[in-house]
Chains A and B, each alone.
Chain A
Amino acid sequence: MKTMKWLLRREFWEHKGAFFWAPLAVSAILSLLIATLLGFGGAANNINASYNAHDAQGATVSIAAHLGDEQKAQLADIMSRSYMFVSAPIFLTLSFIVFFYCLGALYDERRDRSILFWKSLPISDSMTVMSKLAMAAFVVPLITIIMATATSLLVLLMFCITLTFKGVNMFAPLFTTPTVYLTPLHIVSLLPVYVLWALPTMGWLMMVSSWARSKAFLWAVGVPLLSVMMLYWVARMFHLQWDIAWYAKNVIARILLGVLPGVWFPFTGVERGQLVAPDQISIGMSAISTQSWATLSNPELWIGVAAGAAMIYVAIRMRRWREE
């Protein structure tokens, strides 16, 4: 346990830029961008209107000052459910970071030969690989969630301040809505779902990372894509009725795109409409959470989890005899 703590810390030292500064930079740029837009004023109406897009009142919220208490409550409800969507770019950054971290995790140490130093210490291969997996699956997503929540709350505050200038005080109705505080918890509760769906991709990337002697990216991405093209070509040539689309979606997409948060919806065919709870009028975190957990009943998920675990095992076995 103590060793694991130090191994995680070690990973953080090495990848501080990717794990901490990159999401922080994206958060800062995002906040600044929105602050500027709000500062120019014009945007406030549009965004306000978009919050009300499905509202019976339509998009005529420029008469914001005339909003009644009931409308305010409705607006507060929508904002509290959807304010985290503004942090989507931060979660997109997460997928890139996790992707390239997994791809380099067992490759970079061989390229710079520092693997010989790590192997001179009493740390087993399984411990090392598991620490890197834990980093990608839990630590990095949690850092991202914390930053995304902080950014989202900051943006929400900025909206409220802008609305105040228009004579609408949303502070009280909004921050007394429990959903504001529950939304980040909903996202944290999605972490296990994320990890399970991301495992095939993490496993694949780490296996290639442990195996490739050079050009890890080409092996990890080029070969799967090439396999789709070749199968397609062979099927065309010989008029075979192979279901290449099935292969691309259920194998290749799973090992390459699994680290995208929410990718389980397209994978399982969940429609946008299903993410809206019946009693609500726009997409909210609670509906997303329910639907996400529902994907755990898909056998494809568990086949992927098994494949991911097997690839992690192969990565550990391969690292055993890798010296440089």
Chain B
Amino acid sequence: MNSVTYPVISAKGLSKRYGKQIAVDDISFDIPPGRIVGLIGPNGSGKTTTLKAVLGLIPFEGQLSVLGLDPRTQRNALMEQVCFIADVAILPRWLRVSDAIDFVAGIHPKFNRAKAERYIARTKLQPSMKVKAMSKGMVVQLHLALVMAIDVKLLVLDEPTLGLDILYRKQFYQNLLEDYFDENKTIVITTHQVEEVEHILSDLMFIRDGKIVLAATMDEVGERYVEVMIEPGHVAAATQLGPIDQRTVFGKSVMLFDGVAREHLAALGETRNPSIADLFVATMKGSYA
């Protein structure tokens, strides 16, 4: 590993207001290259706004450097190195599969036509097919085929699988991991379907009310958080250790601990690593209250 790595995204005091509403509140973070970062938060927490700032789609306050460029003033140069899928089904309805490939091949210097065609050949997409005749899942397949064939340093995916069935969703992430990702690329994903991305993520960022409440690598998360199914006799002792969340399963208390030694907890009951979804729910408690 190269010891000197410049962050792909570096934010310092990044803020964005819509009128009086603060969407992103003075956040700072660094994302090094070769990571797959999950930016996870409830609706309206500011994750899409953060990504829009990164992609130079909106003005913002504070410092933000993406691949060494300022997205506000150097967007045109930036877009040669960055690609994004902002949402499902935003491809224009009149676009044909063959035209889409021709177009991107014509304008993008880093597009690999053969790769896109190879990917399309594995789907049910036909070259003469128009977007308006496709199902939502097929539109995403086309979009992914175009994006995966572009060799950029940063790929941003904002709810890329929203509204797709489970087959398309699984396939989407599998393709991304197998055919696209390598150590020179960085992927930032936002999604609500946490459980589907947690196996591919290398880093996790929880965002709530415009602030980052957790930023860690998946390894760190695994060390820090432990879920324990408490033996009936140890509930009082366990509660004293300050669990961050607590629920009851089959009459037994299941508690989530942050930063308590695993050996210590093992004495209280069966320990295991919590799922990201459980961690998310525990962290975001009261978000909509």
List chain A positions with a Cβ less than 8 A from chain B.
2-3, 5-7, 9-10, 13-14, 109, 112-114, 116-117, 119-124, 320-321, 323
Chain A: minimal CB distance from B152 (Å):
10
CB distance B94 to A14 under 8 Å?
yes
Q: How large is the interface on B (under 10, 10 to 19, 20 to 34, 35 or more residues)?
A: 20 to 34
CB distance B83 to A120 under 8 Å?
yes
CB distance B107 to A13 under 8 Å?
no
B147 neighbours in A (Cβ, 8 Å): 120
Chain B: minimal CB distance from A119 (Å):
7
CB distance A13 to B79 under 8 Å?
no
Of B96-104, B227-235, B243-251, B264-272, the one contacting chain A is B96-104
- Cα separation A5 to B106 with both chains bound (whole Å): 9
- Cα separation A13 to B132 with both chains bound (whole Å): 14
**A119-B76 contact, Cβ under 8 Å, with A2-B107, A112-B92:** no
**A13-B94 contact, Cβ under 8 Å, with A116-B87, A122-B80, A323-B57:** yes
CB of B252 within 8 Å of the partner chain: no
- Cα separation A5 to B105 with both chains bound (whole Å): 12
CB distance A113 to B80 under 8 Å?
no
- Cα separation A6 to B57 with both chains bound (whole Å): 23
CB of B108 within 8 Å of the partner chain: yes
CB distance A13 to B95 under 8 Å?
yes
CB distance B80 to A10 under 8 Å?
no
- Cα separation A116 to B59 with both chains bound (whole Å): 16
B99 neighbours in A (Cβ, 8 Å): 10, 13
- Cα separation A251 to B28 with both chains bound (whole Å): 50
CB distance A323 to B58 under 8 Å?
yes
CB of B187 within 8 Å of the partner chain: no
Chain A residue with the shortest CB-CB distance to B57: A323
User: Interface SS of chain A: helix, strand, loop or mixed?
Assistant: helix
Other-chain residue from B58, B80, B85, B102 in contact with A321 (beta carbon distance below 8 A): B58
Which chain B residues (83-121) contact chain A, with CB distance < 8 Å?
A: 83-87, 90-96, 99, 102-104, 106-109
Other-chain residue from A5, A9, A13, A119 in contact with B57 (beta carbon distance below 8 A): A119
A114 neighbours in B (Cβ, 8 Å): 90-92
B94 neighbours in A (Cβ, 8 Å): 13-14
List 7 contacting pairs A-B, 8 Å CB cutoff, sorted by A. Answer: A2-B107, A112-B92, A114-B91, A117-B90, A120-B83, A120-B86, A122-B80
CB of B52 within 8 Å of the partner chain: yes
Chain B: minimal CB distance from A114 (Å):
4
B86 neighbours in A (Cβ, 8 Å): 113, 116-117, 120
CB distance B96 to A6 under 8 Å?
no
Which chain B residues (65-87) contact chain A, with CB distance < 8 Å?
A: 75-76, 79-80, 83-87
Chain B: minimal CB distance from A213 (Å):
14
Other-chain residue from A6, A109, A120 in contact with B103 (beta carbon distance below 8 A): A6
- Cα separation A124 to B56 with both chains bound (whole Å): 12
A117 neighbours in B (Cβ, 8 Å): 86, 90-92, 143
A124 neighbours in B (Cβ, 8 Å): 76
B102 neighbours in A (Cβ, 8 Å): 6
- Cα separation A320 to B55 with both chains bound (whole Å): 12
- Cα separation A232 to B283 with both chains bound (whole Å): 63
- Cα separation A222 to B76 with both chains bound (whole Å): 36
Chain B residue with the shortest CB-CB distance to A113: B90
